[in-house]
Amino acid sequence: MVAAANLVEVAALVGDTARATMLNALMGGQSLTATELAYCANISRSTASGHLSKLVAAGLLTVTHKRRFSYYRIASPLVAAMLESSKVVAAIDMPPRRHPRSINDDALRFARSCYDHLAGQLGVAVTDALVAMGHIILTDEGGEVTPSGERFLSAFGVDLKPRTRRIFCQPCLDWSERRYHIKGLVGARILDRLFELGWLKSVPGGRALQLTPSGRRGLFEIFQVEIERGAVQPVDDATRGGRQLKLSDLLNP
């Protein structure tokens, strides 16, 4: 008896440094051109072209040709989910810090997009804040937005209606923090809003996200998430409860 050939094919595709780097770069959700991806992976364009056509043939990526550019992107959320779950396993396996952390690594650990929602320390911190304020209930099994959460998110500018058919609110195991952050429709809309407010900016050529000064202020005021020198400071519940939200400032700037 032999395993499903396709599982092997898919895993083998991911199991190459150059291809994995390109997939990783696309986990931000954007489309990138072949040349950009070649640059990301440190390989020639011809090599990249070969890799990319394999990934498309296997259905991991899709490509759209516009003008003289080929834009590649992750073919489906299922592919993103597969990569995330592989990363969770990879993070467990990690023998404690054999590879020295790179600067880039630290940036990714701090804040990154996980396909379409926020991950990393910041993603976990925002999730924790929403849970602590009683706006969201997260269990291993799933997530739920409470009525107060609906009001809060709506005031924050996140529109959760109409509820589309996609998964609404779900915990996603963060590979760097090994704690849950929010994915699904809720997670995606929150990230959208953070971009819209200019609180986060994407760093070109990667999935890392940069917190802007206004984002630093905003996260503190709305979510009581305090950031010092690029690291998230834990805020105890007492402090959290003692402050008034200033959603009005946000909505009428």
Partner DNA sequence: CGAACAGTTCGGCCTATGCCGAACTGTTTT
Partner DNA sequence: AAAACAGTTCGGCATAGGCCGAACTGTTCG
Partner interacting with residue 46 (select from a second copy, DNA, none; CB below 5-8 Å by kind): DNA
Q: Does residue 88 interact with DNA by CB under 7 A?
A: no
Q: Which of 68, 140, 147, 234 binds a second copy (CB under 8 A)?
A: 140
- With H, G, I as helix, E, B as strand and everything else as coil, classify residue 210: strand
DSSP state of 114: E
Q: Which amino acid type is present at position 58?
A: A
Which of 2, 4, 5, 68 touches DNA by CB under 7 A?
68
Of 44, 64, 94, 198, the residue at the interface with a second copy (CB under 8 A) is 94
74 counts as binding a second copy under rule CB under 8 A: no
Minimum Å distance from CB 39 to DNA? 9
CA distances from 183 to 93, 129, 131 (A): 24, 15, 14
Residue 70 binding DNA, by CB under 7 A: yes
Q: What is the DSSP letter of 101?
A: P
Amino acid 38 reads A
Nearer to a second copy, 5 or 238 (CB): 5
Residue closer to DNA (CB basis): 66 or 161: 66
Provide the token pair at 161: 């209606």
47 binds, among DNA, a second copy, none (CB under 5 to 8 A by kind): DNA
Least CB distance to DNA at residue 19 (A): 7
Query: With contact defined as beta carbons under 8 Å apart, do 27 and 74 qualify?
Result: yes
What long-range pairs does 218-221 form, CB within 8 A, spacing at least 24?
218/250, 219/122, 219/126, 221/245, 221/246, 221/249, 221/250
Which of 158, 175, 203, 55 has the alpha carbon at shortest distance from 114? 175
Pick the binder of a second copy from 29, 143, 187, 215 (CB under 8 A): 143
Selected binder of DNA within 35, 104, 233, 239 (CB under 7 A)? 35
Cβ neighbour number for residue 119 with a 10 Å cutoff: 30
64 touching DNA, by CB under 7 A = no
CB 232 within 8 A of CB 122: yes
Nearer to DNA, 20 or 132 (CB): 20
**Environment class of 4 (CB within 10 Å of its CB; exposed 0-12, middle 13-18, buried 19+):** exposed
CB of 94 to DNA, least distance (A): 18
Sites of contact with a second copy (CB under 8 A): 1-17, 20-21, 23-25, 40-42, 58-60, 76, 78-79, 81-83, 85-94, 99, 104, 139-143, 165-170, 173, 184, 205-206
Sites of contact with DNA (CB under 7 A): 12, 16-18, 33-36, 42-54, 63, 67-71
